[in-house]
Chain A
Amino acid sequence: ETAVFQTPNYHVTQVGNEVSFNCKQTLGHDTMYWYKQDSKKLLKIMFSYNNKQLIVNETVPRRFSPQSSDKAHLNLRIKSVEPEDSAVYLCASSLGQGDNERLFFGHGTKLSVL
C-alpha cells in the first residue's frame, strides 16, 4: 500500500511556466527525496532533505527548488520550465539518513513540457 503520496499524477504545461508538485509521507520518516526519472528510465537524485538540512545535487539547475513545511512534506517547484524538464518526478522517504536506509517511493508525477 502507498504511504508516499504525490500530486498531481500528470501535468502538462508550456515552456516558461512555473509548476509545483506536492509530496506527503505518512510513515513518520525523517528524510525525504526528489528523484527525476527521464525518458530512458534513468533515476537521478535531485535533492534530499533531513531535519531542515538540504543536500542538493550539483547538477540540478537553479530553476528547481524544494520546499518543506515539516518533515512529512517536501514539495518541488520549477520556475520557468524547459523542454528537458519533461520527466517523471518521484518523491521518496526513508526512516533516517543512514547509508543503509530503504527508500519508499510515491507513484510519481509525470511532467510534459510543450
Chain B
Amino acid sequence: QQKVQQSPESLSVPEGGMASLNCTSSDRNFQYFWWYRQHSGEGPKALMSIFSDGDKKEGRFTAHLNKASLHVSLHIRDSQPSDSALYFCAASESQGGRALIFGTGTTVSVSP
C-alpha cells in the first residue's frame, strides 16, 4: 500500500479550464509536501512546495494543505496544453536525511 495516494488517476481538462488534483497520506510523520510534474521522456520537475496549513499560490498553480486530515490538493487555473503531464505529490518526514516519498501520480490531459 502506497503511503501517498493520489486521485484521480487521470484527468481530462479543456484548455482554459481548471484541473484539481488530490493527495492523501497515511503517515502522520509527513510534514513537508511537494508537487512535481513529469513530461513524457523527462524526469520529474518540482512545481511548488507547501509546508504550512492553508493555501499557497504560484502563478496559475494553487496548493492547499490540511495537515489534520493529511490532505494536499493542487489546482491549475487556465490550463494549457503544455500542462499535460504526469503530476506527483511527494512528502517527507520531519526527520533529517529521509528521501521524498512520491505518490501514485495523476495524468492530466489538456485538450485544445
Partner-B contacts on A (CB < 8 A)? 4, 33, 35, 41-45, 48, 50, 53, 55, 90, 92, 97-100, 102-108
Contacts and interface: CB of A to CB of B under 8 A. Distances in A.
Q: What secondary structure prevails in chain A residues at the interface with B?
A: strand
Interface of B: 2, 31-32, 34, 36, 41-46, 49, 51, 86, 88, 92-102, 104-105
Contacts, number: 60
A4 B97 CA distance: 20
A90 B32 contact: no
Nearest to A102: B46
A105 B31 CA distance: 22
A78 to B, nearest CB: 19
Given A100-B49, A102-B49, A43 B44 contact: yes
B99 A107 contact: no
Contacts of B36: 103
